[in-house]
Amino acid sequence: MTRIAHIELDDANLPPPTPEIEQERRVAMFDLMEHNTFELPDRDGRPVPPGPYHVGLSIRDKRLVFDVTTEAHEKAAEFHLSLTPFRQVVKDYFQICKSYFDAVKTLPPSQIETIDMARRGIHNEGARILQERLEGKVTVDDDTARRLFTLVCVLHFGG
């Protein structure tokens, strides 16, 4: 079973999210639980603990941490990613999201659609960067990467 069965964000030390950020988080977590691909590769000939997996996401010491356990709570993997490659795309994503949330309140559908297309493009770029950073550690499909990138943004919001 190469999937995430449970995901938890360690956001205990972060400020409360805005309603928009909280909504993004809820949708990403729901969609992630509905369908995802999360496959740990063989490492040095050692067998990979079977999934499905529980994944804890946090930011510790300015690094993005994935803490992966089995359903029996046995350690399956832990990896730490530098946040540096994500900084600009997260910043761009927050700016375009703000524009989008503002546009929804006042602009006509054609302008909202244009902003939403830009938002999706930046989101896809963030997901691509995440997949690159996870290479060799875990294999995720495009949709899983997009949803995980949203959760990375949620953690960045307060960090």
Number of domains in the chain: 1
**Cα–Cα distance, 112 to 44 (Å, whole number):** 49
| Containing structural domain, residue 22 | 4-156
> Cα separations (Å) of 122 from 1, 11, 26, 73, 109?
31, 24, 20, 35, 20
Contact 102, 111 (CB under 8 A): no
Q: Which amino acid, 37?
A: T
pLDDT of the chain, 159 residues: tens digit per residue: 799 999 999 988 778 888 888 888 999 999 999 999 999 998 788 888 988 999 999 999 889 999 999 999 999 999 999 999 999 999 999 999 889 989 999 999 999 999 999 999 999 999 999 999 999 999 999 999 999 999 999 888 654
Nearest to 58 by CA among 8, 26, 10: 10
